[in-house]
């Protein structure tokens, strides 16, 4: 590289990955997270259009991992094409526009994160804490078009309703309308995750 170009790129890249204030220190004293950031900066020195990042946040503490994800987002904003390998499904969901799931060396799925999660939408569950639920209300819940099944777990003074519904949160208005008049403590909608989709695609049971 032209020394004049690298002289400008180096401070910019160190700032991009968040270690500009440590630029006068020896690398031997860097933490693992700082070394990871330095590797990314070195990779970007010649301003490539395509980046291959192999598990860039592996082994990092939560703060450093979050900073690494932000660095990747910044690179995306610069219109870089990034091929990222990772076992962290949260990271995949947060960063990737397309995901290839590999099992035993073969690509078994290639799609957007949202479309991959649709393959396990039957795992969506609405959980409600209720204080007394009549049998006729349970019967009405089971007849709702967006509901697959309803189970009741009795607790001390309450019941826990588990309502399996593929549309997940989309079914909440119908469910709440059916439960109108009942005392409800709390509600949680557990949508299927990309990890659920991954486990199913590689042959496991989410």
pLDDT digits (tens, 9 = 90+) for 72-119: 998 999 899 999 999 999 999 999 999 999 999 999 999 999 999 999
DSSP 28: G
Q: What is the DSSP string of 108-141?
A: EEEE-HHHHHHTTGGG-EEEEEES---HHHHHHH
Q: Which tens digits make up the pLDDT trace of 10-69? A: 999 999 888 999 989 999 999 888 898 899 899 999 999 999 999 988 888 888 889 889
Q: What is the CATH number of domain 125-190?
A: 3.30.70.260
Domains of the chain, by residue range, sit at 3-86, 125-190
Residue 68 half-sphere exposure toward CB, CA atoms < 13 A: 26
CATH topology identical between 3-86 and 125-190: no
Domain 3-86 is found in CATH 3.40.50.300? yes
- 157: phi > 0 → left, psi -120 to 50 → alpha, else beta; which? alpha
Q: What is the pLDDT averaged over residues 119-123?
A: 88
Per-residue pLDDT band for 204 (boundaries 50, 70, 90) equals: low
Note the pLDDT of residue 205: 55
């Amino acid at each position: 590289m032209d020394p004049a170009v690298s002289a400008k790129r180096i401070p910019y890249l160190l700032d991009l990955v968040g270690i500009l204030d440590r630029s006068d220190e020896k690398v031997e004293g860097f933490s693992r997270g700082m070394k990871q950031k330095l590797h990314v900066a070195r990779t970007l020195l010649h301003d490539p259009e395509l980046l291959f990042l192999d598990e860039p946040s592996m082994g990092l503490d939560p703060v450093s991992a979050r900073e690494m994800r932000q660095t990747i987002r910044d690179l995306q904003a610069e219109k870089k094409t990034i091929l990222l390998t990772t076992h962290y499904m949260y990271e995949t969901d947060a960063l990737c526009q397309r995901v290839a799931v590999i099992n035993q060396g073969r690509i078994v799925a290639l799609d957007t994160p949202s479309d991959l999660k649709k393959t396990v939408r039957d795992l969506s569950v609405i959980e409600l804490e209720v204080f007394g639920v009549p049998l006729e209300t349970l019967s009405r819940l089971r007849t709702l078009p967006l509901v697959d099944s309803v189970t009741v777990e009795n607790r001390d003074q309450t019941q826990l309703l588990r309502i399996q519904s593929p549309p997940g949160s989309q079914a909440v208005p119908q469910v709440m309308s059916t439960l109108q008049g009942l005392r409800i403590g709390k509600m949680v909608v557990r949508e299927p995750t990309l990890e659920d989709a991954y486990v199913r695609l590689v042959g496991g049971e989410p």
